[in-house]
Amino acid sequence: MIQMITMRYPGGLKKAFTLSYDDGVEQDARLISLMEKYGVKGTFNINSGRFAKEGTVYPEGQVHRRMTLAECKKVYSSKNVEVICHGSEHKYLTVVPPQMAFSELLSDKTALEREFGKIIRGLAYPYGPVNDDVISAARLCGFIYGRTTKKSLSLKPQTDDLLNYCPTCHHNTPELFDLANDFTEKTPTWYPFLFYVWGHSYEFEQKNNWDRIEELFKKVGGRQDVWYATNTEIFEYIEAFKRLVYSGDGLTVYNPTLLTIYGETDNESFSVAPGECVKLREKAE
């Protein structure tokens, strides 16, 4: 009999790495150039109501410098990134009436979808806090995941409650490189690894520590055993894995989704294509 079924990433990989950066600031361009250099991917969470006006000149020394819409479209055209929501006006969603939270999220989604020409399925909550009303609003808007700012300090992917998702850590978290060492040097057994780092790229200028993120990329980037993906790619995959349908004895699996899904049963790998039905075992032991 089958004792356990565990998720594996595309190609049967056991490790995934992703980034999440907020606010649509000028420093994102430098961060993306480093992402392209080291072959990593990530997600940028921006506010459709907070684009800088064309011709904006920032005071000398100001580090939080939002981009114009035109600049955002240029910077985020990289194949290594995606754009998702961060609230139209970056409001504290937990301290406004539920209908205002809903409006803030839906208007942001609608505007960004129009400007960037894609369906947006995720968000990062402004300032991080979230409650049941905000999660309900996010779900009604059609989001499948929402990122908080609570660090998990874990490489185990959160597969439930994706609208209240806790990333692994911020890039300034003291444990960052301990986690990176575990990610690169250890081999997952039961659950796969997901190393999810978040932050604001202006912080690298503020703290003069661009070397920190480049050191991280040098360590975790360019590896054959890692799936480098955007947030949405990862969470859509997790949702698809959860939608697999099993026979009563657990020996046959059907894939009703549009993604090829990989898994492992008692150390035996399997994959199931969209619409395919696969026998995991011929008979129970």
Give tens-digit pLDDT for 206-238: 999 999 999 999 999 999 999 999 999 999 999
Rounded to whole angstroms, how far apart are CA atoms 248 and 93?
A: 43
Q: Domain for residue 7, yes or no?
A: no
Task: Tally the domains of the chain.
Answer: 2
In contact, 211 and 172? CB cutoff 8 Å: no
Lowest-confidence segment of 60-69, 234-243, 261-270 by average pLDDT = 261-270
**pLDDT for residue 4:** 86
154/270 same-domain check: no
**pLDDT for residue 267:** 79
Q: Domain for residue 143, yes or no?
A: yes
124/168 same-domain check: yes
Structural domain for 250, as ranges: 243-279
121/164 same-domain check: yes
Q: Domain for residue 238, yes or no?
A: no
Q: At a CB cut-off of 8 Å and minimum separation 6, what does 155 contact?
A: 168, 179, 182, 183, 188, 193, 194, 195
Give 25's pLDDT tier (boundaries 50, 70, 90): very high
Mean of the per-residue pLDDT values of the chain = 96
Q: Domain for residue 106, yes or no?
A: yes
162/248 same-domain check: no
Domain with residue 30: its CATH number is: 3.20.20.370
123/222 same-domain check: yes
38/106 same-domain check: yes
195/270 same-domain check: no
214/266 same-domain check: no
59/182 same-domain check: yes
268/166 same-domain check: no
Q: Please provide the DSSP assignment of 13-43 as one string.
A: -SEEEEEEEES-BTTHHHHHHHHHHHT--EE
In contact, 152 and 168? CB cutoff 8 Å: yes
**pLDDT for residue 2:** 74
Q: The whole model's pTM is what? A: 0.96
In contact, 108 and 85? CB cutoff 8 Å: yes
64/183 same-domain check: yes
Q: At a CB cut-off of 8 Å and minimum separation 6, what does 60 contact?
A: none
Helices (H), the chain: 28-38, 69-75, 98-116, 132-140, 176-185, 202-207, 210-220, 231-242
225/172 same-domain check: yes
In contact, 56 and 92? CB cutoff 8 Å: no
**pLDDT for residue 282:** 64
The torsion angles phi and psi of 5, rounded to 5 degrees, stand at: -130, 125
